[in-house]
Amino acid sequence: MLWGFAMKKVVFIVISIMLLILFMVLSINVLNGNMDNWNNSVYEQITSWSNPTLTNFMIIIDFVGKWYVYLAIALLFLAIPKSRKKIGIPITFAIVSGAGLTHVLKQSFAISRPDFYWLVSASGYGHPSGHITYGTAFIGICVFLVLIYAKNRLLKIGVFVLSIFFMLLMGFNRIYLGVHTPTDVIAGYLIGTFVVIFSIFFFQKFGIVKMRRLVL
């Protein structure tokens, strides 16, 4: 069933506010030290599975999730005239928005990265996780585009399932490598999802992408 734009606007606003509230509550608890024991407990559990093979795989995943990998894909679609408006502009907007918002939030909360043993190099503040924020934004918009443009139901389901698996793997990756706490990761999911919702609303508002039946 197709929703009118007014109804979709209300839904987008409500979901966006809920995501921001959850992020703020989480962030305040992190600042107050209320999440330290839980963060340490989860980190110890995940690193108990540490082994050379898994570490090498996680390092590869770390590279795959870099912002410039996503941006390179976006620029490729931007360079192709036929995919520029329908794909290139939406995913570029999502990546840039996600990266920009991540930077602002990191500087605003100034929450340091965890004092764990890092398996890869990292710089700057840790909250929220940049990999997770712009990764969720990029993957989320890609899934959205597949759901509205693809006609093959199996393709839609496959992309949806693989995308969820990849983002969960990325969350595991950030904690396993020691560069982010579990709360950094959760914060990244919340803000990344916010970027997806905001981007979809923006696309609808300015006619960049017209939503059709959003079904699997």
The CATH code of the domain that includes 80 is 1.20.144
Instruction: Tell me: pLDDT of 4 over 60.
Output: no
| pLDDT bucket at 210, cuts 50 / 70 / 90 | low
123-161 residues labelled b (16+ CB within 10 A) or e (exposed): eebbbbbbbbbbbbbbbbbbbbbbbbeeeeeeebeebee
For residue 215, tell me if it sits in a domain.
no
Model's pTM, two decimal places?
0.91
The predicted pLDDT at position 2 comes to 46
Instruction: Tell me: pLDDT of 89 over 50.
Output: yes
For residue 189, tell me if it sits in a domain.
yes
**pLDDT digits over 121-161, tens only?**
888 899 999 999 999 999 999 999 998 888 888 998 999 99
For residue 48, tell me if it sits in a domain.
yes
Q: Are 181 and 33 in contact, with CB atoms under 8 Å apart?
A: no
For residue 19, tell me if it sits in a domain.
yes
**pLDDT digits over 151-204, tens only?**
888 998 999 999 999 999 999 999 999 999 999 999 999 999 999 999 888 887
For residue 171, tell me if it sits in a domain.
yes
Q: Which residue has the higher pLDDT, 7 or 61?
A: 61
Domain of residue 114 covers: 5-205
Number of domains in the chain: 1
Mean pLDDT of 36-47: 94
Q: How far is CA 197 from the centre of its chain?
A: 12
